[in-house]
Amino acid sequence: MAATRKTGENLYLRLVKATVEGVERLVMVAADRFSADMLKGKNIRRGDKVRAWVGKERDGRSWNRAHALGQLLVDNIEGYEHLNAHQALKRLQTLAGVECDDTMITGVTVPCPHCGGHLEVPAMQARAPRSLAYDHMDEMVFQTVYTALRKYIKDNYWPECSEAQIDQMASLVENY
């Protein structure tokens, strides 16, 4: 039985050296049979010019390390204890302002917990963390984000620790 990929999933390319018009170049070729079939299915042929987002494939260990960092916060920092590792990572990302979208929201009405009525808020800033998922960010950007998150932890929670020590503590978190 042939395996299939869902529509819209990534195809994978590999860089290889090839001689094109007498000049040695790096070219991209389908990395596997599924990717080659996807290219054929899109009627993309040799010589066609295509548009693509290109990023280096992510290292799964980095993803686990980031979630271990989130779990380290859950286990040790007040205010994170009610979150899971992923939620802690998102909260940290938002607080640090790393890879976030900031938006100004105007004309907001919010319930007032003290009087039971509503308050008009003329404008407020909203910050939403971007996805750190494999298909949204390449490994180099992810490593920059991870470094910035460690720095935020050092500066705001554990100034007595180095970023390397924080990384080492995260590496000791079980199940990641």
Q: Which of 92, 47, 101 is nearest to 72 (CA)?
A: 92
Looking at the domain assignment, is residue 176 inside a domain? no
Domain boundary among 54, 81, 97: 54
The DSSP 8-state label assigned to residue 32 in this structure reads S
Q: Which whole-number Å values give the CA distances from 144 to 62, 83, 123, 168, in the listed order?
A: 12, 24, 32, 17
What's the domain count of the chain? Answer: 2
| Domain enclosing residue 139, as ranges | 60-171
Tell me, rounded to whole angstroms, the distance of Cα 101 from its chain centroid: 13
pTM exceeding 0.75? no
Residues 69, 144, single domain; the answer is yes
Which tens digit of pLDDT belongs to each residue from 28-60?
A: 888 887 788 888 888 888 888 888 877 766 777
Which tens digit of pLDDT belongs to each residue from 122-156?
A: 888 889 999 888 777 888 899 999 999 999 999 99
Residues 67, 105, single domain; the answer is yes
